[in-house]
Amino acid sequence: MTDAANLFGRGFSFPPRIDANGQVAWSEGTKNIREAIQVILLTEIGERLMLTDFGAGLKHFLFEPNTVETRRLIEERITQALEQWEPRIQLQEVNVAEDANDSQQAIATINYKLIATQQTERVSVQLNLGS
Protein backbone atom coordinates (compact mmCIF):
# COMPACT_ATOMS: atom_id res chain seq x y z
CA MET A 1 0.00 0.00 0.00
CA THR A 2 1.10 3.53 -0.66
CA ASP A 3 1.57 6.16 2.04
CA ALA A 4 -1.69 7.84 0.93
CA ALA A 5 -3.55 4.55 1.34
CA ASN A 6 -2.10 4.09 4.80
CA LEU A 7 -2.99 7.64 5.77
CA PHE A 8 -6.47 7.97 4.23
CA GLY A 9 -7.57 4.43 3.46
CA ARG A 10 -8.28 2.35 0.40
CA GLY A 11 -11.52 0.99 -1.04
CA PHE A 12 -13.37 0.00 -4.18
CA SER A 13 -13.44 2.80 -6.72
CA PHE A 14 -16.67 4.68 -7.25
CA PRO A 15 -18.35 4.15 -9.53
CA PRO A 16 -17.24 0.50 -9.45
CA ARG A 17 -15.20 -0.43 -12.49
CA ILE A 18 -12.62 -2.84 -13.83
CA ASP A 19 -9.04 -1.60 -14.23
CA ALA A 20 -6.70 -2.14 -17.22
CA ASN A 21 -5.59 -5.49 -15.75
CA GLY A 22 -9.15 -6.82 -15.66
CA GLN A 23 -9.39 -6.55 -11.87
CA VAL A 24 -11.62 -4.49 -9.62
CA ALA A 25 -10.32 -0.92 -9.54
CA TRP A 26 -9.37 0.56 -6.17
CA SER A 27 -9.11 4.14 -5.00
CA GLU A 28 -6.91 5.41 -2.24
CA GLY A 29 -5.84 8.58 -0.54
CA THR A 30 -7.75 11.79 -1.04
CA LYS A 31 -9.50 10.29 -4.09
CA ASN A 32 -10.95 7.60 -1.82
CA ILE A 33 -12.34 10.28 0.49
CA ARG A 34 -13.89 12.20 -2.42
CA GLU A 35 -15.50 9.01 -3.68
CA ALA A 36 -16.76 8.17 -0.18
CA ILE A 37 -18.41 11.59 0.01
CA GLN A 38 -20.14 10.91 -3.32
CA VAL A 39 -21.37 7.54 -2.06
CA ILE A 40 -22.80 9.12 1.09
CA LEU A 41 -24.53 11.89 -0.86
CA LEU A 42 -25.96 9.56 -3.53
CA THR A 43 -27.25 6.91 -1.12
CA GLU A 44 -30.85 7.11 0.00
CA ILE A 45 -31.66 6.53 3.66
CA GLY A 46 -32.99 2.97 3.95
CA GLU A 47 -31.29 1.85 0.74
CA ARG A 48 -28.60 -0.23 2.48
CA LEU A 49 -30.09 -3.20 4.24
CA MET A 50 -27.46 -3.54 6.96
CA LEU A 51 -27.03 0.23 7.51
CA THR A 52 -30.53 1.60 7.05
CA ASP A 53 -29.64 5.09 8.32
CA PHE A 54 -26.60 5.43 5.98
CA GLY A 55 -26.68 8.14 3.35
CA ALA A 56 -27.93 11.68 2.85
CA GLY A 57 -31.29 10.96 1.26
CA LEU A 58 -31.05 13.82 -1.21
CA LYS A 59 -33.59 12.33 -3.64
CA HIS A 60 -36.20 13.43 -1.08
CA PHE A 61 -35.78 16.91 -2.54
CA LEU A 62 -36.32 15.86 -6.18
CA PHE A 63 -39.69 17.58 -6.66
CA GLU A 64 -39.24 20.34 -4.09
CA PRO A 65 -39.16 23.96 -5.25
CA ASN A 66 -35.70 25.43 -5.71
CA THR A 67 -36.08 27.97 -2.92
CA VAL A 68 -33.77 29.29 -0.23
CA GLU A 69 -35.63 27.17 2.33
CA THR A 70 -35.20 23.96 0.32
CA ARG A 71 -31.51 24.68 -0.25
CA ARG A 72 -30.98 25.27 3.51
CA LEU A 73 -32.66 21.93 4.27
CA ILE A 74 -30.32 20.24 1.78
CA GLU A 75 -27.33 21.90 3.46
CA GLU A 76 -28.47 20.54 6.83
CA ARG A 77 -29.00 17.05 5.40
CA ILE A 78 -25.53 17.03 3.79
CA THR A 79 -23.90 18.31 6.98
CA GLN A 80 -25.57 15.69 9.16
CA ALA A 81 -24.74 12.82 6.79
CA LEU A 82 -21.09 13.73 6.33
CA GLU A 83 -20.52 14.38 10.04
CA GLN A 84 -22.01 10.98 10.83
CA TRP A 85 -20.48 8.86 8.05
CA GLU A 86 -17.13 10.39 7.04
CA PRO A 87 -14.81 10.62 10.07
CA ARG A 88 -11.72 11.45 7.97
CA ILE A 89 -12.92 15.01 7.29
CA GLN A 90 -13.87 18.11 9.22
CA LEU A 91 -16.56 20.11 7.45
CA GLN A 92 -15.73 23.76 6.97
CA GLU A 93 -18.74 24.85 4.91
CA VAL A 94 -21.67 23.38 3.02
CA ASN A 95 -23.31 25.75 0.57
CA VAL A 96 -26.20 24.93 -1.75
CA ALA A 97 -26.94 27.56 -4.39
CA GLU A 98 -29.29 27.76 -7.35
CA ASP A 99 -27.60 26.86 -10.63
CA ALA A 100 -27.41 30.11 -12.62
CA ASN A 101 -27.97 28.16 -15.87
CA ASP A 102 -30.95 26.02 -14.77
CA SER A 103 -33.61 26.97 -12.23
CA GLN A 104 -34.39 23.24 -11.69
CA GLN A 105 -30.84 22.55 -10.48
CA ALA A 106 -28.84 23.42 -7.41
CA ILE A 107 -25.13 23.06 -6.81
CA ALA A 108 -23.88 21.83 -3.43
CA THR A 109 -20.33 22.90 -2.64
CA ILE A 110 -18.67 21.17 0.28
CA ASN A 111 -15.48 22.57 1.76
CA TYR A 112 -13.68 20.31 4.18
CA LYS A 113 -10.36 19.72 5.88
CA LEU A 114 -8.61 16.36 5.88
CA ILE A 115 -8.10 15.48 9.52
CA ALA A 116 -4.85 13.59 8.91
CA THR A 117 -3.07 16.43 7.09
CA GLN A 118 -5.19 19.56 7.67
CA GLN A 119 -5.27 19.99 3.86
CA THR A 120 -8.36 21.81 2.59
CA GLU A 121 -10.43 20.19 -0.17
CA ARG A 122 -13.64 20.98 -2.05
CA VAL A 123 -16.31 18.84 -3.72
CA SER A 124 -19.25 20.12 -5.78
CA VAL A 125 -22.35 18.09 -6.62
CA GLN A 126 -25.19 19.00 -8.98
CA LEU A 127 -28.67 18.32 -7.58
CA ASN A 128 -31.93 17.97 -9.52
CA LEU A 129 -34.84 19.73 -7.86
CA GLY A 130 -38.35 20.54 -8.95
CA SER A 131 -40.23 23.67 -9.85
First vs last C-alpha separation in the chain:
48
Cα atoms found within 13 Å of the Cα of residue 86, Cβ hemisphere only: 28
Q: Tell me, which fold does domain 3-128 have in CATH? A: Nuclear Transport Factor 2; Chain: A, (3.10.450)
pLDDT band, very low/low/confident/very high, at 7 (cuts 50, 70, 90): low
Domain boundaries, the chain: 3-128
Q: How far apart are the C-alpha atoms of 2 and 25, rounded to whole Å?
A: 15
Distance CA 70, CA 39 (A): 22
CA distance 32 to 123: 13
Give 63-113 pLDDT, tens digit per residue: 999 999 999 999 999 999 999 999 999 999 999 999 999 989 999 999 999
- Angle subtended at Cα 39 by Cα 72 and Cα 5, rounded to the nearest 5 degrees: 120
Is the distance from CB of 109 to CB of 124 less than 8 angstroms? yes
What does the mean pLDDT of the chain come to? 87
pTM for the complete prediction?
0.82
Identify the bridge partners of residue 91 per DSSP, sorted by sequence position: 112
pLDDT average, residue stretch 45-50? 91
